[in-house]
Structure 1
Amino acid sequence: MARRPIDDVSFGVRVAALWSASFLLIFGAVWALIFLLNKVSMVTITMAVAIMVCALLEPGVRLLTKIKIPRSLAALIVFVLGIAVLGLLTWFVIVQITDARTSLYSQLQDAAVKIRNWLVDGPTHMSAKQADKYTTDLGQTIGEHRQTIVSGAVSTARSAVGILSGAVFCLFATIFLLMDNGSIWRWFVRAMPRHTHAHAYEAGQVAWRTLTAYMRSLVLLAAINSLAMVPVMALADLPLVMPLAVLLFLGSLVPLIGVTLAGVIVCLIALVTKGVVTAIVMGVALILIVQLFGNILNPIILGKAVDIHPLAILVTVTAGTLVAGIFGAFVAVPLVAVINNATHAVRAHHRDAVAERVT
C-alpha cells in the first residue's frame, strides 16, 4: 500500500490540528452570533432585560397560581405590582438626585480645592499654575460647555425615542413571558432533532431555575448591602446618604466591579468631606458588609443554583464589559451561570440515559 502524506504527520500534531480547527470554528460561530445580535442591539437588550425581569417576577406568579388564581390573571397582578414598585424606585432616585444636585456641586468644588492644595503643599510640590491646570474650576467648565451639552442633548433626541421604544417593547415582552408558562421553550425544543428533546428540555428547566435564583439573590444582596451602609454613612455624618445608598444598590447589581466602583466613590466623598480616617472607616465597613452578607446569605439564597469561582466572575464581568459595556457586565455572570448549569444538566441526563440502557 502506498504511503499517504498524512502518515508522516505525528498523532499529536493531528490532534492539535483538529483541536485548533474546532476552536476556530467555535470562535467564528460565537463571533458571528455576537455580530448579528449587535446588529439588532435594541431587540437583544430589551429581550435580555425582559427575560431577567421575568425571572425575578416568576416566583410571585407561581405563588399566586398555587392558590388557584389563573396564570394570566396572576401574571397581570405581579406585572402591575412590579411596574409600580419600579416606578416608585425611579421616582425616588430622581428626587434624591435632584435634591442633592446643589450639595453635590459644592462637594465637587471643595474636592477640587483640596486636591489643588494637596498638589501644591503635598509631596508633589507642584507650582500653583500646574495645580490649576489639573483642577480647573468645575463650574467654569460646565458654564463654558453648556451650549455643547444642550446641543448634544438635542442631537440625541432620536436615541431617547429609541430608548422609549425599547422600554415599551420590554414591558410587552415581560408580560407575555410571564403569561407564557414555558410554551415558547417547548416550541423551540420541538424544532430540534427528536433525539435531543429530552436533553434540551432538561437544560431549559435548569437554566430557568438558575436565572431565577441568580436574580433573586442579586437584588436581595444589592438591597441588603446598600441598606446596611445607610446607618454607617449616617453615623459618620456623610452628605448625600440616600443618593450614595442608591449608587451602592445599582453598583451591587454588577458583581465585583460595580460594587467596587460605587465603594470608591463613597470613600472619595468621605475623604473630601470628613477626612482620611472617615474614608478608611467607610472602606473597611463596606468590605466587611459585602463579604459578610455575601458569604453568609448568598449560599442560603442561592444554594447550589449558581456556583462560580470568584476569579471566573471577575474574568467574566471584565470580558462582558469589553464586549458590550455596562450591559455586557450586567448579563455576563448570569449568562455564564446558565450555560454552566445547563451543560452539567445535559451531561448528567446523558449519563443517566446510558446507565439505564446498560442496566
Structure 2
Amino acid sequence: MIRVFRNWVQRYFSDEEAVVLAIVLILGFAVVISFGNKLAPLLIGLVVAYLLQGMVQRLRRWHVPHILAVWIVFLLFVSVLGALIGVVIPLVWRQMLALIGELPRMLVEWQDQLLHLPERFPAFVSEEQITQLIRTASGEFGQLGQWLLSQSLASLPLLITILVYLILVPILVFFFLMDNQTITRWFIAHLPRERRLMTRIWTEMNQQIANYIRGKAVEIIIVGAVSYVCFAVLQLNYAALLAVIVGLSVLVPYIGATVATLPIAMVGLFQWGLGNEFMVLLAVYAVIQALDGNVLVPVLFSEAVNLHPVAIIAAVLIFGGLWGFWGVFFAIPLATLFKAVLYAWPRGVEADIEVSPVKEV
C-alpha cells in the first residue's frame, strides 16, 4: 500500500511546479469556502470588474485614454445598476407579492381542474392519484409559505446587507478597473519565479473563462428582455417576474429551461385555461428557447466548452451547493479549470497500460 502511494506521489508530484500549483489551488478554495461570506463584496466586485474589463480594453484599442475608458465603462455600469434598482427590481418585487397573494385562489382553481381529469381521461389518471398529488402539493406550498414568512421576518438584516453591497461593490469595481495592471503585477510578484505550468493553464483558461462569463451575462439579459417583451405583448400576468425566471434559467444547462417552463405554464393555465392563448404562450416560449440554444449561444460563446453533460450537471450541483447563485454562475468555468489542470498536470512516470481487446464469445 505504501509503495502504491509512493509511486502515485512520484508520478504526479515529482515536478516542483505541480506541488506549488496544488498548494495555490488548495489555499484558494479554502479561503473562498471559509471566508466567502465575509469576502462576498470583494469577490463580487472582482467578478464585475472582470466582466467589464473587456469593454475597457476595447476602448483602449480605439485609442481612448485608460482613465477616460474606465470612467466611461464605470458610469455605464452605474447607470445599468441604477435602472435595475429603480425600475426592474421594484416591478419584479410587486409582481412577486401579487403572485403570493393570489396563490390560494390559484391553488383552488388548479385543484378543481385536477379533480376533473379522471372524468376526462379515466384510462390515464385515477382519482386516487389526483388526491395524492393534491395532498403532496399542499404540503409543499405550506412549506413555501413558512419559508416566505421566515424570509420576511429576516428582511431587515438583508436590507442592511444589500445597502452595504450597493456602496462597496461599485467602489471596488472602480478601483479594480482603474488599477488593474498594478494589482496584477502585485499578485504576479508573489508567485514563484518558475511558473511555466501556471502560465500555461492561465493562458489556456483566460480566454474561455472571459468568453463564457461575459457571454452568459449577455445571454441572461437578452433572453430575459425578449421574454418580457413577448409576455407583455401576450398580456401574460406577472410578465416581469416570469421573464427574470427565464433569464436566470440559462445559468443551469439542460435543467433551467425545463424548470422555468413550470411557472410559465401554471400562470398561463390559470389565466387562460387550455385555450388558444395558452397554446400561443407555449409556442412562443418554445421559440425563445430554440433561438437561444441554436442561434444566441453559438454567437456568444466562440470558445466551445468541451465538457460532458454529466460533468456540467455535477459541477452545478457541487458549486451551487457551496456558493449558491455565484456557484451556479461559475460552475462551468470552474469545471473547465479543473479539466485544464487535470490535462496539463505534469506526470513524472507515464504508466504504460495496455488494454487487451475483449474476446467475443
Question: How far is the alpha carbon of 1:40 from its aligned partner?
Answer: 1.5
Unaligned 5+ segments in structure 1 are 348-359
Cα distance in 2, alignment partners of residues 104 and 284 from structure 1: 23
- Bigger drift between 224-233 and 109-118 goes to 224-233
Instruction: Please show how residues 167-206 of structure 1 align to structure 2 within 5 Å.
Output: 167-196=166-195, 198-206=196-204
Q: TM-score, normalised by structure 2?
A: 0.71
Higher relative contact order (CA 8 A, sep 6+): 2
Structural mapping, 1:1-359, within 5 Å: 14=4, 18=8, 34-100=29-95, 103-105=98-100, 107-118=102-113, 120-123=115-118, 125=127, 135=138, 151-154=153-156, 157=157, 159-196=158-195, 198-230=196-228, 232-234=230-232, 236-276=234-274, 282-283=281-282, 285-304=284-303, 306-340=305-339
Distance, in Å, in 1 between the alignment partners of 2:303 and 2:331 is 19
Rounded to whole Å, the distance in 2 between the matches of 1:204 and 1:44 is 23
- Given that 2:53 and 2:177 are in contact with CA atoms closer than 8 Å, whether structure 1 keeps it comes out as yes
**In structure 2, distance between residues paired with 1:232 and 1:212:** 30
Give distance in 2, aligned partners of 1:67 and 1:27.
40
Higher helix share: 1
Q: Secondary structure at the match of 2:307?
A: coil
Deviates more, 1:264-273 or 1:275-284: 275-284
In structure 2, distance between residues paired with 1:150 and 1:50:
27
* CA distance in 1: counterparts of 2:50 and 2:147, whole angstroms: 43
The alpha-carbon deviation at position 88 of structure 1 amounts to 0.2
What is the distance in 2 between the residues matched to 1:304 and 1:219?
15
Q: Is the 8 A contact 1:247 1:262 kept in 2?
A: yes
Tell me the amino acid that sits aligned with residue 175 of structure 2. Answer: F
Where do 5+ consecutive residues of structure 2 fail to align? 14-18, 119-125, 347-361
C-alpha deviation, 1:85, in angstroms: 0.9
Equivalent position amino acid for 1:227 in 2: A
Tell me if the contact between 2:12 and 2:345 (Cα under 8 Å) persists in the aligned partners.
no
Output the CA distance in 2 between the equivalents of 1:146 and 1:106: 12
State the Cα RMSD in Å: 4.3
Whether the 8 Å contact between 1:227 and 1:245 is mirrored in structure 2 is: yes
Identity of aligned residues (%): 24
- String of CA shifts for 1:284-313, please: whole Å, max 9, x gaps: 543443243323332332222644344332
Letter in 2 for 1:245: A
CA separation of 1:148 and 1:191: change in aligned 2, threshold 3 A: closer
- Secondary structure of 1:195's counterpart equals coil
SS for the counterpart of 1:69 is coil
1:180–1:273 Cα change, 3 Å: same
The CA deviation at 1:205 is: 4.4
Displacement of 1:208 in angstroms is 3.3
Q: Which moved more, 1:276-285 or 1:55-64?
A: 276-285
Counterpart amino acid of residue 292 in structure 2: F
Name the amino acid aligned to 1:207. Answer: M
Gap change, CA 1:107 and 1:305, over 3 Å in 2: same
Code of the aligned partner of 1:320: F
Assess if the C-alpha contact under 8 Å between 1:200 and 1:346 holds in 2.
Answer: no
